[in-house]
Structure 1
Amino acid sequence: MNYEDEFSQDEDDDQDFLLDDENYAMSPSASQFMYRRQRLSSTNSGVVQNVPKLMDFIPDDIDKKHDEMFQFEDDVKLSYQDIPPPPGLSLKPGNLPPSGFGPSTSQGKPPATVKPIGFSITRIGEPMTQPMEEVEKPKPFAVEKLKASEPGKRSSSKSPSRQAKADGWEPPKGLTPNASSHRLSQLAAISSAPATPKRQRRRDAATKELVNLVVVGHVDAGKSTLMGHILCKLNFVDQKTIHKYKQESSRQGKASFAFAWVLDETDEERNRGITMDIARTFFETKHRRIVLLDAPGHRDFIPNMITGASQADAALLVVNANIGEFESGFDKGGQTREHAMLLRSLGVSQLIVAVNQLDKVEWSQDRYKDVESQIKVFLERTAGFTNIKFVPCSGLSGENLIERPNESCDLRKWYNGPCLIELIDELQAPKRVVDGPLRAIINDIFKSTSTSLSVSVKVESGEIQVNDKLYIMPNADQALVKAVTNDDGGASDCVYAGDQALLTLFGAFEPDTIHPGHVLTSGGKDALMPGRRFMARIVVFDIPIPIMKGTKAELFCHSLCEPVTFVKLVSEISKNNGKVLKERPRCLARNKSGMVVIETERDVAIEPYTVCKPLGRITIRLNGQTIAAGIIESRTD
């Protein structure tokens, strides 16, 4: 017999035993020696339930293992007056005799006693004649010793949270039910900490303007090859390295991927022939310092593409001019359209479109014009771009990348415009919020211990100097900046808004608690406070199923990815003027716009768009498809 059969048989035996006990008729001679427990009904307080059962007479000291049993002889005829009471106990009315009187087969154990509680004895079968006496409950000793404070003489030390609350700070409502008091105290201390004083240091005026450029496009459009070839032509990759890449790629039968390997550095990316994560590098043009962000084009890696695009000031959209290749990327389901929509929703307004691989169609002007006209209509009318520039080129042959085509190239016959690097050099750096409160987004973590962190950050607002005391949100961990490495790999003592930097932070960090999407902030009234529930204004994309109350999706904001729920549809509004068209709609269908309340599963470091634009832009995806984008209007928790 297996264990399950044995267990089932034991349960049946136990049930039969209990049923036999309850139905067993005791003789009067034995029952008069049994103590009957008085039971109070929970629904009829003060009334003793006089329903005798065998289970009512079981003393408190019966062994739970049922290895001890009490036996009584039927011929014993004694009354409870003949039983000698235990020492010190007087059997008077109102006192309860001890349990377990009478012959017992307990092995040497003394009879169990019950402390008197004011009940009178009732024989089995006799009605209750004396009501239960009211017993005053003794007061706990600690309560008796307490004394009320006299008015005006009460004093207590204030915790950081109390002190901050007295100064006018209130803890975030979304944190109160679930967050620990320790974390609330940390947030209160951060908010009440002295603000970082304004510093007079500014970036050197002679320094070239910094532009963060993201490269996007459909898979196999040639993005990595194009940018890798530019880096080689600009001498940011030495000839020995590129020669090594050419030999290794040829041995694997992928000779055309040599320039792509400049940016695709992992073995998996090289074996699969696609970019899977953001590749970050740096180069300079005549008037600009460029931080290059090479984004993946495969639809499975759209979250990584969003992370790169959220850091960008401008974008380079690469399209494949080959017949059939452009159509597959631009038609519904291709990544060209989705990448363009994501760029615009993430705040990118400057766009260069590189019509790549034009050499494979013999530098056809007609093909170039056809591609340009199709994509220009979409970018202007649907995506909303106004600043768009087009350039024909070939990433593999290198034509029109850093130099205009020579007379021998067929492209020169009909194109006299600028080359790609000239257009990149004309990109404008956006206005930086150097004087604003510190907001630095963690994009990657390179080294993490219990006392130090090495993180890659994008400074969106303010500045960071060595020895600054910062706070990591939403965890509220304190950190000290010990070293700063700027975007070109050189050591520095200060980075400003717009910079990409590597920071070394010292502090007490719990393992695996710091992630991309966390934000560095300074203390004081301008500190970023995390939250969960937000009011957002969104635009719904071309989706088959409308957004309804309770819809669950993924929220993307800067480097953050977090599950989110639509908890309320506030209104449907006009795209043109923002006027309310319908209050509390049942759903938001395709191409509609509305105000919604969203709630994340955990506290997140985002805030209204009016406070910090990069931390207020959101993108919402569901089942691998972008369903909406918008901005955070306010916090509602």
Structure 2
Amino acid sequence: MSGRFSTFSWTLPSSLIVEYDLDDDYDDDDYGRSYEDDISMSPGSAQYIRRRQTSTSHTSGNLHLGAFIPEEEPITDDHYHGEEDLFQMDDIGPPPGFPARQPPAQSTSTVVPPVISEPAPTRTFAIHQLPTPPETSSSSTFGNFTEKPVLPNVSTIRLSETASRSSSKSPSRSKTPSRLEPNSTQGALQGGTLPANQSSHRLNQLAAISSASSTPKRARKVVSDSEKDGKQLINVVVVGHVDAGKSTLMGHLLYELDYVDQRTIHKYRNESSHAGKASFAYAWVLDDTEQERARGVTMDIARTAFETATKKVVLLDAPGHKDFIPNMITGASQADAAILVINATNGEFETGFENGGQTREHAMLLRSFGISQILVAINKLDTVGWSKQRYDAIVVQIKNFLTKQAGFQSNKCTFVPVSGLDGDNLTAKVGPDHQLNQWYKGPTLLEAIDALKAPKRMAEGPLRIVITDVCKTQTNSISLAGKIESGDVMAGDKVYFMPTAVAATVKYLTSDTESQCDQMCCGEQGQFTLTGVFEPDTISTGHVIVTGGPDTLKPAKRFLVRLVVFDIQIPIMKGTRAELYCHSMCEPCTLIHLRSAINKSDGTVVKTKPRCLSRNMSGMVEIETDHEVAIEPYTVCRALGRITIRRSGNTIAVGIVEQTLA
């Protein structure tokens, strides 16, 4: 067995003995020169072979990391290839530095060997100009024949002329005027620049809306609130920390005003008692959904209306839980004044007023939405025996915060002690034997609401109706809830939904304070029934109803905002992703450029192009949303020009829109 053995066998019957030689496996293996190596490569194949340049060294003796990390340069128009260049196919030839492709020389006797010393030309069908590669050799030596282009007469499918770059930081959009001109699309569609992100059909829609004639003012009678029945309309939102008793307070107030009958309250008392929540009977007047009643918290905006001696009040009960702040923002954006409910129970006030509570955030949000009148209802004062010391301590802390931090004026802050569960000091003053009567001689809650002043309306402005809810949608009709922020509307008016530019006709109008009517004015809320052709999911909350004409709303994705930063931990930087809230709309956005940091008091520029905006700073910021939204400058429509920025469930900044950019 020593040495090399070449055969072996198994001890088997002779008929099954198999002989196997290991050397047979290597008989056909030849690692010499292949036959294919003796045949030269064809010129057609050689042009696709890349020759490495061995003379160039890719390393250096002293490697410095900074040489491989170039400084970041701003994206300019010369470095950006926008969508308008993707179809520039006038130059079908190769880019500069690339020789045109040449066919192989005609030969029948010998095979032309490949040219090893010269790189083969690259076959190019350029749609837009590519960077010029380093030139390594002269043109090919295969003749002067040029291959015909695959696409004949390419210039006939040109979609746009050479794009003229704007000075905007975002070259993917072309600058457009702040107002739509009637014939603004003709130049773009007749050989001019086609703006990115807008098809020709979209441009035609917007141009038709801007050129449409609105109803003449002389044919309309703008009826103010006081001219209807002598009472002014005011929208009041109720806010406060969770479990402050907001729904119970407002439900009991409606019961005292006979807007809820005794039978309904008796039913709610029995049902809440069986559910183990006997104290929630009045809250169920406004919390009418099963989920809200099961959880014991308000989750969405509850809207109702009542009248006082001089006012028609639309009441908006907002949720107080932190998870439902977006719904609270929607309600606050519709309000003219606010009722801030405070829980006077020992420990509960401190919990709601500290940094993690919602009392501070709600007050700041109210002021950011332009609400200047606030009524502070100190609730559940009966749990501390109607203590004057407790009441005074709460008033001092809340008043200092509202006037020194939130920005409210002292004469527009009213404090009222109440008990929502017992109904004390809601609609009538307490009796002479009541503990509250010993030290409080101020107004009741109803009297304080009646003393609120209605703000000045934009009755003469262009129509702007903010959609707050979509009630019912069909193929040819839609029923919506909303508020008229500017102008007025009548049955029969032709309107448009922005930003989708869907046309419709107003069929029915139903005000919250009245029954079906023919006309609704600025400041009123109600339901609107419109007819038209509506595709699924084309109309949603946050859209705005407008009329045609030069003053129509122009949807935008990019705008300049004057921002005020809250007390945040992580500063705002370029590229920060957040959620943008405006009226009833919520849209993801990106803070793409920090223009300047400004002084809060006088608006002077403190620093241009700051690296970040930290807590309590103010600045001019460019914001871009993921989709087009119905937003306008604050000077055009106040309600559509106030925004709130939130990130990771926290409000980080508020601001007003100075200018729409694209």
* TM-score interval for Structure 1 and Structure 2 normalised by the shorter chain: 0.7 to 0.9
Which 5+ residue runs of structure 1 have no aligned equivalent? 1-19, 45-116, 147-160
Alpha carbons of 1:134 and 1:163: their partners in 2 closer, same or farther (altered >3 Å)?
A: farther
Given candidates 41, 44, 66, the residue that maps to 2:47 is: 41
Assess if the C-alpha contact under 8 Å between 2:46 and 2:114 holds in 1. Answer: no
Given candidates 260, 266, 270, the residue that maps to 1:247 is: 270
* SS of equivalent to 2:229: coil
In the alignment, which residue of structure 2 is the partner of 1:25? 35
- What number of residue pairs does the alignment pair up? 527
Q: Percent identity?
A: 55
Assess if the C-alpha contact under 8 Å between 2:185 and 2:207 holds in 1. Answer: no
Alpha-carbon offset, residue 449 of structure 1: 2.3
In the alignment, which residue of structure 2 is the partner of 1:263? 286
Equivalent runs, 1:481-500 vs 2, <5 Å? 481-488=506-513, 490-500=515-525
TM-score, L = length of structure 2: 0.75
Q: Distance in 2 between matches of 1:193 and 1:358?
A: 58
Q: Distance in 2 between matches of 1:337 and 1:372?
A: 14
Which 5+ residue runs of structure 2 have no aligned equivalent? 1-29, 51-102, 116-140, 158-179
Alpha carbons of 1:191 and 1:358: their partners in 2 closer, same or farther (altered >3 Å)?
A: same
Paired AA for residue 185 in structure 1: N
In the alignment, which residue of structure 2 is the partner of 1:276? 299
* SS of equivalent to 1:618: strand
In the alignment, which residue of structure 2 is the partner of 1:435? 460
Query: C-alpha deviations, 1:119-146, integer Å up to 9, x for none?
Result: 6344564559995562674998879999
Alpha-carbon offset, residue 564 of structure 1: 1.3
Paired AA for residue 279 in structure 2: S
In the alignment, which residue of structure 1 is the partner of 2:429? 404
Assess if the C-alpha contact under 8 Å between 2:42 and 2:114 holds in 1. Answer: no
Q: Distance in 2 between matches of 1:222 and 1:611?
A: 38
Alpha carbons of 1:408 and 1:136: their partners in 2 closer, same or farther (altered >3 Å)?
A: closer
Query: C-alpha deviations, 1:543-583, integer Å up to 9, x for none?
Result: 11111111111111111111111111111111111111111
TM-score, L = length of structure 1: 0.77
Matched, 1:448 2:473: yes
Assess if the C-alpha contact under 8 Å between 2:376 and 2:416 holds in 1. Answer: yes
Matched, 1:477 2:483: no
Q: Distance in 2 between matches of 1:388 and 1:570?
A: 36
Matched, 1:313 2:299: no
Q: CA RMSD in A?
A: 3.1
Equivalent runs, 1:140-179 vs 2, <5 Å? 164-165=183-184, 176-179=195-198
* SS of equivalent to 1:433: coil
Paired AA for residue 649 in structure 2: G
In the alignment, which residue of structure 2 is the partner of 1:577? 602
Alpha-carbon offset, residue 174 of structure 1: 13
Alpha carbons of 1:123 and 1:342: their partners in 2 closer, same or farther (altered >3 Å)?
A: farther
Given candidates 185, 202, 206, the residue that maps to 2:223 is: 202
Q: Distance in 2 between matches of 1:342 and 1:548?
A: 22
Q: Distance in 2 between matches of 1:163 and 1:621?
A: 37
Paired AA for residue 430 in structure 1: P
In the alignment, which residue of structure 1 is the partner of 2:212? 193
In the alignment, which residue of structure 2 is the partner of 1:383? 406
Q: Distance in 1 between matches of 2:515 and 2:194?
A: 40
Alpha-carbon offset, residue 359 of structure 1: 0.7
Q: Distance in 1 between matches of 2:193 and 2:272?
A: 54
Paired AA for residue 202 in structure 1: V
Greater mean deviation of Cα atoms: 192-201 or 290-299 = 192-201
Query: C-alpha deviations, 1:569-606, integer Å up to 9, x for none?
Result: 11111111111111111111111111111111111101
Query: C-alpha deviations, 1:440-473, integer Å up to 9, x for none?
Result: 1000001112322111010000011111111101
Matched, 1:522 2:547: yes
Assess if the C-alpha contact under 8 Å between 1:174 and 1:533 holds in 2. Answer: no
Alpha carbons of 1:144 and 1:243: their partners in 2 closer, same or farther (altered >3 Å)?
A: closer
Alpha carbons of 1:541 and 1:38: their partners in 2 closer, same or farther (altered >3 Å)?
A: closer
Matched, 1:425 2:436: no
In the alignment, which residue of structure 2 is the partner of 1:372? 395
Assess if the C-alpha contact under 8 Å between 1:122 and 1:128 holds in 2. Answer: no
Greater mean deviation of Cα atoms: 195-204 or 214-223 = 195-204
In the alignment, which residue of structure 2 is the partner of 1:608? 633
Alpha carbons of 1:402 and 1:450: their partners in 2 closer, same or farther (altered >3 Å)?
A: same
In the alignment, which residue of structure 2 is the partner of 1:183? 202
In the alignment, which residue of structure 1 is the partner of 2:106? 120
Greater mean deviation of Cα atoms: 290-299 or 558-567 = 558-567
Matched, 1:466 2:491: yes
Q: Distance in 1 between matches of 2:380 and 2:492?
A: 49
Given candidates 632, 636, 646, the residue that maps to 1:621 is: 646
Equivalent runs, 1:207-356 vs 2, <5 Å? 207-356=230-379
Q: Distance in 2 between matches of 1:131 and 1:304?
A: 73
Query: C-alpha deviations, 1:196-246, integer Å up to 9, x for none?
Result: 311234243434111100000000000000000011111111111111000
Q: Distance in 2 between matches of 1:543 and 1:139?
A: 60
* SS of equivalent to 1:520: strand
Alpha-carbon offset, residue 410 of structure 1: 0.9
Alpha-carbon offset, residue 433 of structure 1: 1.0
